[in-house]
A and B are shown apart, each in its own frame.
Chain A
Amino acid sequence: MKEYQVIGKPVPLIASREKATGKAKYTDDIRLNGALHIKILRSPHACADIRAIDASGALKAAGVRAVITGRDFNHTFGVLPISKDEPALARDTVRYVGEPVAAVAADTEAQAGEAARRIRVEYEAHDPCLDPRAALLDTDRPIHPELGRGNNLHKSARQEFGDPARGFGEAAAVVEGTFDFQPLTHGFTEPHATQVEIDAQGSITVYSSTQVPHYLHRALAEVLEIPMHRIRVIKPHLGGGFGGKSDPFPHEMIAAKLALITGRNTRLSLTREEVFSSNHGRHPTTIDMKLGLHPEKGITALSTDVLIDGGSYGSFGVVTTYYNGVLLHGPYPAPNFSFACDRVYTNKPMCGAMRGHGGVNPRFASEVLFDMACAKAGLDPCEARLKFIHEPDTVTANGFRITSVGLKEGLRKAMERSAWKEKFGKLPYGKGIGVACGFFISGSALPIHWNKMPQSTVRLTIDFDGGVTVYSGASDIGQGSDTMLAQNVAEVLGVPMSMIRVIAADTGLCPIDLGSYSSRVTFMAGNAARNAAIRMRRILVSAACKLLEIGEPRYGKPGGPDSFFRQGGRKPDFDDPYLGPNPDYSDGFEARELTFRPSAGPREGAGVPYLDAVRKAMDGHGALQTQGIYVSPKMGGDFKGAGAGLSPGYSFTAFISEVTVDPGTGFVRVDKVTGAHDCGFPLNPLSVEGQLDGSIHMGLGQALMEAIRYDPKLGVVQNASFLEYKMLSPFEQPEIDVGYDANVDNEGPFGAKEVGEGALAPVIPSVANAIHDAVGVRLRSLPMTPDRVLAAIEAGAAVTPRNENGKGGM
């Protein structure tokens, strides 16, 4: 394998020192001149009509500069153009407890809070619809009457491939079950915050903790009814997103509106409770799934019927609806496949995208069923998975293009390291080992707003000082994307990381990028940065040739993969504005340690210092500037929903978890997770490990304890704090041994694929399968809390005969 200089090396994130020392400025740390403080008045009802709002008391209160209500907005918004159903402030009805109803801007935070309390809202409360099953029934008070439906259905998706009935007929083992999932919050550290700076021309700069500056920019223009060019969105340092900051939010519209009305700068920060009531977390879900397995053919049929509870608004819900089905087309082929998913509206805070978006819950169901089928068919769960994982360069039943797959070797090694063969089915009662696999997209191939723009554009400049500036619209949300961009550029240009400055997530300065979601940034923005750097390299190499008085390298169409699986039939072309994904840029020069050296020819080994090349290139030309783009190859079928889940690359994961179950109390301790993640070539092992540890931590939270609890009658969140909403403490984090051997993906930048999301899902079923190995019970509801485990053991003890280890059958 090629020896790189910065790629593949553990590089500390470029902002880590600033963050660790407290210097980094997050949105709330910004101090704008004389900013007004905003307080949002929220609904105490889950379902009510607003009869009247009397803000006179608030307007008379000390320090108050403006009060706004739903009447001040003419447009609703939403991240998806197909469900722009959310108002900045509720107009005639409120749809969940905590929905913004009015907002006050005042000189101090205390004044804003005091004034908000003086707003009188007259509500006519109605019985809320809180149960997703009830939401499917006819009602004369639908939550979104504008859809013209007599019930609360939001979105239905149906797909079928092959012949499921025949497939089940061919199976050696058919298993099925109903699986139940709770609502979850992302649990990021930094609550949402927004500050708005307004200039004398009435143009606004919106600082916001967002994963999607671009979508926020668009939504602001629409909701505020001002031209897009009068808006600039900047994402300062961000304290975690996980999908919880990937929509435009009401508070962002409110802060901007109040700045426009008052002509003053404005600021607001949500409390943790407000974050809970804004939600956008994982959908509560019920899945009925059936799986047929054959010892030689693999999954002969898979059918699934899903109901997801979307809460009050659309958010990413249409995508979630599809992802609940389409992400089951890996990690194993399922030629006969049927899927139905309904998303309903209920009077709860809306659900949206959360790490592993839409793929986590169905993965739990399918991997538990796969385990059950193995037990029934007498197959070793690891061996069976090994056998049926997708082969590279294949197409799934629904038209996903599966390119690189590096999981088999990884799983094999994980089996050895965990001593799977010696342990599975052989540990004493209470101890167990279980396996599960998963796969995930590296970015969505289709844009949310239909257009032919590249998914990602990155601009590079080099000026007289030799410093390289990378301009990218991608949002570093703590995951390290700025560092990733800098690494790509540093590697191509042969300059140290310290000479690279990344200016990102500023819609006024940076070229368009769609944002940080669907694990797209490394694959797409990384490729764009790499391409911009290759173009820059050509300029510098050309200058170096002049200084060395040799001819310039001839750039033709470099050799490259030309099959359907590589780049959708396109070859990289150095004369084209688009170089293609991950093009080979060998130009006969070696660029390292700030020197360009020809690696052959008459001046072989002669060095041109980087700065000399820069100056030469600038002669008669000025500052150097290049641009790189990423465009997804064309792919996918031609049927409804064919675009959902299409990605230029897929990551693959396998986890083997070992647990100890206390049969007296039902407590489950996860002792160790061994596994493998195929993220292609690991650009930065430090980041890869951070993401894997984090995915396991977050996945185990869902597995063992996390759930938002709503009051069953009122719909108010009962545990809106990190004391009562239980995420894993460091004590519950297991020992981790996950390999990520380099498996080069031809299209990812330097061979990389995603690592941020895919690894979350499979850890959950691996624990469920390990619990089964330990005490012989199958858990189908998350979280697998001690009370549920104990109840299952007690029920299981009554019906399941035990084998010699005291363990149950299927």
Chain B
Amino acid sequence: MRCARCIKNAVYSDPALCKKHFVVSIEETVENTIKKYELIKKRDHIVVAVSGGKDSITLLYILNKLKQKLSFTLTALAIDEGIVGYRDKTLVTVTNFCKQYDIALQIVSYKDSFGKSLDQFLTTTHKNTKPCTLCGAFRRTLLNKYARIYSASKLATGHNLDDESQAILMNLLRGTPQASARLGPQTGVIEDNMFIPRIKPLYFIPEKQIAAYSFMVGFNIEYGECPYAVQAYRGIVGELLNGYEQKHRGAKKNMINLFLKNKKRLMKLSMEQEEKVNYCSRCKEPSATAVCKTCLLLENKQNL
């Protein structure tokens, strides 16, 4: 198979491109997504949520490359949940990466913010809470809070086309399609000073292409797995979609596009059901409910 842009051998099949042109094409897609959806404007300060996995490292790397051309500034924000044997290692990766590329990095821990590491919560007060429920709520709270504290105009995350198509399908299968109104290349529908809008510059890039990009650029990262990660519903839906994609090329992308066409209608649907942003009466962070999920979890009042 030849590269579609030169005479070299393709190292990737769909699209058929050589190494050099594959790398260029990924970066072009990210730039085009940013422009088409106006994800980043001049003088924006972008805080990038970085976990040390291939998605967030790729995102950080590409944004760092684009920052001069599109004139914005960048800070990386890593969350230290306190997961021994896993997060300690990925934080070393993140720290070295940011040093190498001269990117400002802030690390915020559960221990400093909530008094205990995730490991400690799960072995003492929260033995019966699902790890990802606790962890996910805490992370969402801290990302928004610290993005705001570090003066972000946007918070960028490494969500890719697979993440998004999985989320859309899961919402459909659960019978809550209106929940997808919160998806899309930019979220934060609600205008609120306390709430930092989120952007997903890797929105149109399939996970496989991000893995290939990471390999070709040579980030040289050990991608471990969180010991609490379970083969959740999302994994099953992911496999289902990949199985379907194998037979019908473009299935995932078609889903995304169908969703984007209908997003406005979904937003209307969900706005009729949702109240606007309130502030949590305990921590004062934005929340749809009177007390936010993080505070409920901290008080052990919500064991999902």
A, B: real partners:
no
Chain A residues packing against B (C-beta within 8 Å): none
Chain B residues packing against A (C-beta within 8 Å): none
